[in-house]
Amino acid sequence: MIEGLMLGLSTAFSIQNILMVIGGCLIGTFIGMLPGLGPMSIIAIMIPVAISIGDPSAALILLAGVYYGAIFGGSTSSILLNAPGVAGTVATSFDGYPMARQGKAGKALTIAAIASFAGGSLGAIYLMIFAPALSSVALLFHSAEYFALMVLGLSAIAAFAGSGQVGKAILMTLVGLILATVGEGALFNMPRFTMGLMDLQSGLSFITLAMAMFALPEALFLVLNPARSKTEGGGGKIDNLRITRAEAKAIAPVVGRQSVQGFFIGVLPGAGATIASFLGYAVERNLAPKKEQEEFGKGSVKGLAAPETANNAACTGSFVPLLTLGIPGSGTTAILLGALIALNVTPGPRLMIDEPQIFWSVIISMYLGNLVLLVLNLPLIPYIAKILAVPRNYLIPFILFFTLMGAYIGQNNATELLLLVGLGVCATILRFADYPLAPLLIGFILGRMLEDNFARSMQLYGGIDFIWERPMTLGLLVLAVGLVLLPGFRARRAKARAAGVADGD
- Answer whether residue 302 is part of any domain: yes
Q: Are 410 and 204 in contact (CB under 8 A)?
A: no
Supply the pLDDT for residue 236.
Answer: 47
**3-class secondary-structure state, position 41:** helix
Sign of CA dihedral 179, 337, 318, 296: negative
**72-76, 175-179, 213-217, 472-476 — most confident range:** 175-179
- Answer whether residue 41 is part of any domain: yes
Q: Are 307 and 182 in contact (CB under 8 A)?
A: no
List, for residues 362-394, the tens digit of each pLDDT value.
888 888 888 888 887 777 777 766 665 666 667
Expressed in angstroms, the distance from the first to the final Cα of the chain is: 65
**3-class secondary-structure state, position 191:** strand
Q: Are 164 and 434 in contact (CB under 8 A)?
A: no
Q: In this structure, what are the phi and psi dihedrals at residue 36, rounded to the nearest 5 degrees?
A: 100, -25
Sign of CA dihedral 454, 263, 91, 161: positive
List, for residues 245-289, the tens digit of each pLDDT value.
888 888 999 999 999 998 888 877 656 777 888 888 888 888 888
Q: Name the helix (H) or strand (E) containing 184.
A: strand 183-184
pLDDT higher than threshold 70 for residue 68: yes
**Residue 78 structural domain:** 1-144+204-227+239-414
- Answer whether residue 29 is part of any domain: yes
350 Cβ neighbours under 8 A, 6+ residues apart: none
pLDDT higher than threshold 60 for residue 232: no
Spatial distance between the Cα atoms of 97 and 227, rounded to a whole number of angstroms: 18
List, for residues 394-421, the tens digit of each pLDDT value.
767 777 777 777 677 656 777 888 888 8
**27-41, 210-224, 227-241 — most confident range:** 210-224
Q: Please, which pLDDT band fits residue 491 given cuts at 50, 70 and 90?
A: low
**40-49, 194-203, 301-310 — most confident range:** 301-310
Number of structural domains found in the chain: 1
Q: Which neighbouring-strand residues pair with 183?
A: 192
Please compute the mean of the pLDDT values over residues 314-332 and round it to a whole number.
Answer: 72
Supply the pLDDT for residue 186.
Answer: 61
Phi-psi region of 133 (alpha: psi -120 to 50; beta: other; left: phi over 0): alpha
pLDDT higher than threshold 60 for residue 347: yes
- Answer whether residue 196 is part of any domain: no
List, for residues 427-470, the tens digit of each pLDDT value.
888 888 888 777 787 788 778 778 888 888 888 887 787 888 78
Helix residue ranges per DSSP H, 433-470: 438-461, 466-469
Please compute the mean of the pLDDT values over residues 227-235 and round it to a whole number.
Answer: 47
Sign of CA dihedral 402, 407, 409, 410: positive
Supply the pLDDT for residue 254.
Answer: 92
Q: Please, which pLDDT band fits residue 305 given cuts at 50, 70 and 90?
A: very high
Global confidence as pTM: 0.68
Supply the pLDDT for residue 34.
Answer: 67
Please compute the mean of the pLDDT values over residues 160-168 and round it to a whole number.
Answer: 65
357 Cβ neighbours under 8 A, 6+ residues apart: 7, 8, 11, 57
pLDDT higher than threshold 50 for residue 37: yes
- 260 vs 318, higher pLDDT: 260
Please give the share of the chain, as a percent, with pLDDT higher than 90. Answer: 3
Q: Are 67 and 18 in contact (CB under 8 A)?
A: no
List, for residues 120-141, the tens digit of each pLDDT value.
888 888 877 776 676 566 667 7
- Answer whether residue 485 is part of any domain: no
Q: In this structure, what are the phi and psi dihedrals at residue 436, rounded to the nearest 5 degrees?
A: -70, 130
- Answer whether residue 445 is part of any domain: no
Please compute the mean of the pLDDT values over residues 214-222 and round it to a whole number.
Answer: 74
- Answer whether residue 466 is part of any domain: no
Angle subtended at Cα 335 by Cα 330 and Cα 336, rounded to the nearest 5 degrees: 95
Mean pLDDT score across all residues of the chain: 77
Please compute the mean of the pLDDT values over residues 172-189 and round it to a whole number.
Answer: 81
Cα 124 from chain centroid? 18
Alpha carbon distances (Å) from 498 to 36, 440, 487, 502: 48, 34, 16, 6
- Answer whether residue 32 is part of any domain: yes
List, for residues 83-133, the tens digit of each pLDDT value.
776 777 778 888 988 988 888 888 888 898 889 888 888 888 887 777 667
**3-class secondary-structure state, position 183:** strand
